[in-house]
Chain A
Amino acid sequence: MCVKWRPDTSEADVAVNKEGKDINKADLDYDINDWDRFAVEEAVRIKEKIGGKVTVVSVAPEDGESMLRECLARGADEAFHLCDEAFEGSDGYAVARTLVAFIKGRPCDLILTGTLADDDCGGQVGGMLAAMLGMPQSSLVHKVDIQDGRANIVRELEGGLSEALEIDLPAVLSIATGINEPRFVSIRAVRKVAGLDIPVLTSGDVGLEQSQVGAAGSRIKIEKVFMPPEGEGAEIITGSTEEAAGRLAQILKEKGGIA
């Protein structure tokens, strides 16, 4: 079960940093990637149904420990924190290689990830992991049923259409948001895992050279980031709430927005 720690930009005001190679992250709140929360819940549900053990792993900076602890509170059995300055600047390829180095010595039947991370919007790690491990894989999975060494899954296509597939285990499944309703984490559950040890592993601990991880081990290099050009945006209606609402109602009426 692989999870990612990332800044929450869904509702935040973002700005490009001085160097122009990333955004300012100092003021952003970090949290587990939205998609991964659903994947953790699914892993725990599968365990509750058919048994087994859920191991959570993340390539994350120091602060990411709180996310791993939350995963334990959600029902995972153990967590490992791959944490090393050398991991900084990793693209999907470098992250996948790092995770594979960790996973290789630990036989497993099923690897779950989220489909997409909302910081780099790449959707790469699950597929790359699977290829590096030689396992079959599927993404955007919104239904999983494990039996007889197989995963029967349904995955999203477009326009409400889905497809049903069967996949032999071991396999990598990248989960879609909405597959389940992630459980509420009680204070009791949090307390219960507060004392659990979360081992921290460096690149050397998983047998990788520094040149194989982080920016050095990546295949994508960000040359620059910039805000999209303003272009022909919306006309912003200003004034008091009352005035703005009145003007908007008038526009809606003129354009056929009131039947």
Chain B
Amino acid sequence: MTQIFVLAEHRHGQLRDATWEAITAGRELAGKLGGEPTCLLLGHNVDSMADALAKECPKVLAVNDPWLEHFNSEVFVRALVPILKGRKPFILVMCNSNSILDLAAYLSVDVDAALATDCFGFEVANGKLMALRQMYSYKVNALVSFKDTENIVVTLRGGAFSFAPSGEPAGTVETIPCPLGDEPIRKRFLNFVEAEKGDVDIASADIIVSVGRGIGDAEDLEMFQSLADAMGGVLACSRPIVDKGLLPKYQQVGTSGVEVKPKVYLALGISGAFQHLGGIKGNPLIVAVNKDPRAPIFRAAQYGIVGNLMDVVPALEEKIKELKG
């Protein structure tokens, strides 16, 4: 029978929240396919993490080694390959974090598994697993099946599987030796690099005017800054604006940028990819202006205008100034 594994993710010696979402998905798969999930914990000084995981997972396989303290995809692949090869066929469930992005594709080849990344749901037909994911700038959903191998690796869309404690009795922890081998490690972690701090603090702003790919060039920024000033808010942006060098990284909202928790979020020319929405916390009022009526942002927003920013933004600024008297 297919065994279901969930890889725990940690940073600075703490389990990362997405691990619990992966356990939730592992339970769901076990419910659909039979069996129970086993949690894989690879780290250093793992005891307290292993105990926490065992509360929610029937079985924890723990590997303890100083090399596993920081996430390093090469070391993790090397440790995981012998563990998984001896336990085929399997389904391995992991978060879709930026650390796992380094690991998933490489590992899938080395353990002879099919891979679907960034899945937000699963279906089973005739005992075969299928995964739901998104394509084409995250505008279209796709249901995919797996072939040519019995082993499957999936990574999960953040927030797609919400965790609730199982209420079951705690599971067991089994510590297994670290199968790293003697080959030299060719990829070495050096240090973390903190984000550059700037003079605009979007993290604590109540009112945010955020601009995305749909805006024009640098000279148009003035118009958006002027609107933000009229509203008494700050100007922020999505990733493509930083990539173009129009605004600094510390003004970027999203999972790879800054997490914000405003009261009001005005999204201008932002498509609304999940990486961007993932940075908006605290359920603010989201209002979107975009020329594409199918832009995902309109599913996250409460109010929207489908139209051209160059027309709407100056008109909006004028109306706001009128209201302020």
Contact present for B213 and A236 (CB under 8 Å):
no
Binary interface encoding of chain B residues 129-167 relative to chain A, with 1 for a CB under 8 A from any of its CBs, else 0: 010011111111111111111000000000000000000
Interface residue SS majority, chain A: mixed
Q: In the complex the two chains form, what is the Cα distance from A252 to B259 in whole Å?
A: 22
Q: Which of A51-59, A155-163, A188-196 contacts B (4 or more CB under 8 A)?
A: A155-163
Q: In the complex the two chains form, what is the Cα distance from A161 to B114 in whole Å?
A: 30
Cβ-defined partner of A258 (8 Å) among B195, B232, B304: B232
Number of chain B residues whose Cβ lies closer than 8 Å to a Cβ of chain A: 107
The answer to whether the Cβ of B223 comes within 8 Å of any Cβ in the partner chain is no
Contact present for A256 and B147 (CB under 8 Å):
no
Tell me the residues in window 1-60 of chain A with beta carbons closer than 8 Å to chain B beta carbons. Answer: 7, 9-14, 16, 23, 38
Contact present for A92 and B105 (CB under 8 Å):
yes
Contact present for B292 and A155 (CB under 8 Å):
no
Residues of B within 8 A of A13 (CB): 292-294
Contact present for B106 and A258 (CB under 8 Å):
no
Contact present for A165 and B115 (CB under 8 Å):
no
Contact present for A160 and B264 (CB under 8 Å):
no
Binary interface encoding of chain B residues 6-49 relative to chain A, with 1 for a CB under 8 A from any of its CBs, else 0: 00000100000000000000000000000000000000000000
Q: In the complex the two chains form, what is the Cα distance from A232 to B298 in whole Å?
A: 9
Residues of A within 8 A of B98 (CB): 139-140, 155-158
Contact present for A138 and B303 (CB under 8 Å):
no
Cβ-defined partner of A225 (8 Å) among B97, B140, B307: B140
Tell me the residues in window 217-243 of chain A with beta carbons closer than 8 Å to chain B beta carbons. Answer: 218-228, 230-237, 241-242
Q: B residues near A, CB below 8 A?
A: 11, 70, 72-74, 77, 97-99, 101-110, 114-118, 130, 133-149, 186-196, 206-207, 213-214, 230-233, 239-240, 242-245, 249-250, 255-259, 263-264, 266, 271, 285-288, 291-294, 296, 298-307, 311-312, 315-316, 318-320, 322-324
